[in-house]
Chain A
Amino acid sequence: MTEAILQRIANDDRNAVKDCLDKYGGLVWSLARKMLRNSNEAEDAVQEIFIDIWKNADRFDESKASEITFVAMIARRRLIDKIRHSTRRISADSLEDILLEPSTRADKKMQTGLEAEQAAEAMRNLRPEQQQVLNLSIVQGMSHQEIADTLRMPLGTVKTHARRGILEVREHLGLGGKQISREVQL
Chain B
Amino acid sequence: MSENKQEKLIDLLIKKAVSGLDEAEQHELDALDSDTASEFRSLEMTAAAINVAGIAVDEPLPAHLYTKIAANAEQFVAAAEMESSPWSPAKPRHQEVEREGISWFGWLGWAAAAAACIALALNLWITRTPQNNQANIKPPTAIPKVLTLGEQREEMMRSAIGTVKANWTAGNVKEMNQISGDVVWSDEKQAGYMRFKGLPKNDGTKETYQLWIFDKTQDKATPIDGGTFDVTSDGEVVIPINAKLKAKGPEMFAITIEKPGGVVVSKREKLAAIAKVENLSS
Tell me, yes or no, whether A binds B. yes
Do residues B76 and A68 form an inter-chain contact, with CB atoms below 8 A?
Answer: no
A81 to B222, CA, bound (A): 14
Interface flag for A162 (CB, 8 Å): yes
Do residues A170 and B46 form an inter-chain contact, with CB atoms below 8 A?
Answer: yes
Contacts of A167 in B (CB 8 A): 10, 14
Do residues B54 and A30 form an inter-chain contact, with CB atoms below 8 A?
Answer: no
Stretch at the interface among B59-67, B133-141, B190-198, B207-215: B59-67
Interface flag for B38 (CB, 8 Å): yes
B239 CB → nearest A CB, Å? 18
Interface flag for B24 (CB, 8 Å): no
Interface flag for A100 (CB, 8 Å): no
B85 CB → nearest A CB, Å? 11
The residue of chain A having its C-beta at the shortest distance from the C-beta of B71 within the complex is A47
Q: A69-B45, A72-B51, A176-B42 are in contact. Are A33 and B77 (CB under 8 A)?
A: no
State which of B20, B54, B62, B68 has its C-beta within 8 Å of the C-beta of A83.
B20
Q: A76-B51, A103-B54, A184-B7 are in contact. Are A162 and B18 (CB under 8 A)?
A: yes
The residue of chain B having its C-beta at the shortest distance from the C-beta of A43 within the complex is B65
A51 CB → nearest B CB, Å? 6
Do residues A29 and B61 form an inter-chain contact, with CB atoms below 8 A?
Answer: yes
Contacts of B36 in A (CB 8 A): 180
A143 to B36, CA, bound (A): 23
Q: A12-B84, A21-B70, A117-B53 are in contact. Are A162 and B14 (CB under 8 A)?
A: yes
Contacts of B59 in A (CB 8 A): 26, 29-30, 33
A178 to B80, CA, bound (A): 37
Contacts of B10 in A (CB 8 A): 163, 167, 180-181, 184
Q: A26-B61, A117-B53, A139-B50 are in contact. Are A76 and B44 (CB under 8 A)?
A: yes
The A-contacting residues of B in range 12-42, CB under 8 angstroms, are: 13-15, 17-20, 22, 36, 38-39, 42
Q: List 14 extra interface pairs beyond A83-B19, A166-B14, A181-B10, CB under 8 A.
A: A14-B81, A26-B60, A27-B55, A54-B73, A69-B45, A72-B49, A72-B52, A76-B51, A80-B19, A84-B20, A105-B55, A117-B53, A159-B11, A180-B9
Residues of A within 8 A of B (CB): 12, 14, 17-18, 21, 25-31, 33-34, 39-40, 43-44, 46-48, 50-51, 54, 64-65, 68-70, 72-73, 76-77, 80-81, 83-85, 102-105, 107-110, 112-113, 115-120, 123, 134-135, 137-139, 141, 143-144, 159, 162-163, 166-167, 169-170, 173, 175-176, 178, 180-181, 183-184, 186
Residues of B within 8 A of A (CB): 1, 3, 6-7, 9-11, 13-15, 17-20, 22, 36, 38-39, 42-62, 65-66, 68-70, 72-73, 76-77, 80-81, 84, 120, 124, 127-128, 130, 245
Give 8 nearest A-B pairs by CB, closest first.
A25-B61, A115-B49, A119-B49, A116-B52, A120-B53, A175-B42, A72-B48, A139-B54
